[in-house]
Amino acid sequence: MRTTESNPSPSTARGLGLHVLLTLLGLAMAAPFLWMILASLKTAPEAGDPAWLPRQAQWGNYPEVFRVIPFLRFAANSLVVAGWVTLLQVLTSALAAFSFSRLEWPGRDRVFFLYLATMMLPGIVMLIPNYEIMVRWGLMDTFLGLVLPSAFSAFGTFLLRQFMLGIPRALDEAAEMDGASKWRIFWDVILPLSRPGLVTLAIFTFMGNYHSFFWPFVMMKTVDNYTLPVGLLFFDSEHGQVTHLLMAAVTMSVLPLIVIFVFLQRQLIRGIQIGAVKG
């Protein structure tokens, strides 16, 4: 009887090599997060030790954070700001995307490309104009001053426009024949069908604004109004940085993002895949 050779095929070898490569990349990406957790369990002298593992886990570092800074207050401020920015940005992006994808008006495509051109401007370039506007409007050291400049997004408009372009025009025509207005078409037809894109944009926006540092650092002067990234500066003092407590605070600060990602990862992946196909 003839025996077949048990040597792996080239495709199997390539697949195995790809899995090994992806595993190594995953470990490299997870290493900083693992170091952060382990450092949060060290004592202050151990924090500068190159050894990763603490000699004895110091779980008391976590309640100590609440005694050093008003952690819950800062976290609540971050959640409020990120929540309002997400809500407004999703709403304004959806309205703009509907206009650019489903409505016909003179110069629509030119205005859209001009709007997209703003994505090429670094955020630091817009810092001074936004700051001057907030000062003139008397919105310094207010949550409204943090939210308004981030309430509009060219990226969000582009993302949702790609989703809406993939929705058949026949749905609009059928709704119009039933007497639906443009607003009714947007709210009852287009918006529900764009749900994957809305969820994707909401996740990206919330994550980006929850840990935003520079703009809140410039705008906020009152400690009670500090967001979490700015509040973590309390761990820097003239005696140096309290690394073990800082890492404990950072570990707790990323928990909401992990929870959001775990519960919405399917819709996030689906939204990215659909957007890639339609784009």
157 closest CA partner among 113, 123, 121: 113
What residues form DSSP beta bridges with 237? 240
Q: For the chain, give every domain's residue range.
A: 16-59, 65-278
From first CA to last CA, the distance across the chain in angstroms is 55
Per-residue pLDDT of the chain (279 residues; tens, 9 = 90+): 454 555 666 778 788 888 889 899 988 988 988 999 999 999 888 877 778 888 888 999 999 999 989 999 999 999 999 999 999 999 999 999 999 998 888 999 899 999 888 888 887 888 889 999 999 999 999 999 999 999 999 999 998 998 898 888 888 888 888 888 989 999 988 998 888 889 889 988 998 899 899 999 999 999 999 999 999 988 876 446 788 899 999 999 998 888 888 887 776 676 665 555 444
Please state the pTM of the whole predicted model: 0.84
d(CA 212, CA 137): 22
Name the CATH superfamily housing domain 65-278: MetI-like (1.10.3720.10)
Q: What is the 8-class DSSP label of residue 9?
A: P
Measured in whole angstroms, the distance separating CA 272 from the mean position of its chain's CA atoms is 14
What residues form DSSP beta bridges with 241? 236
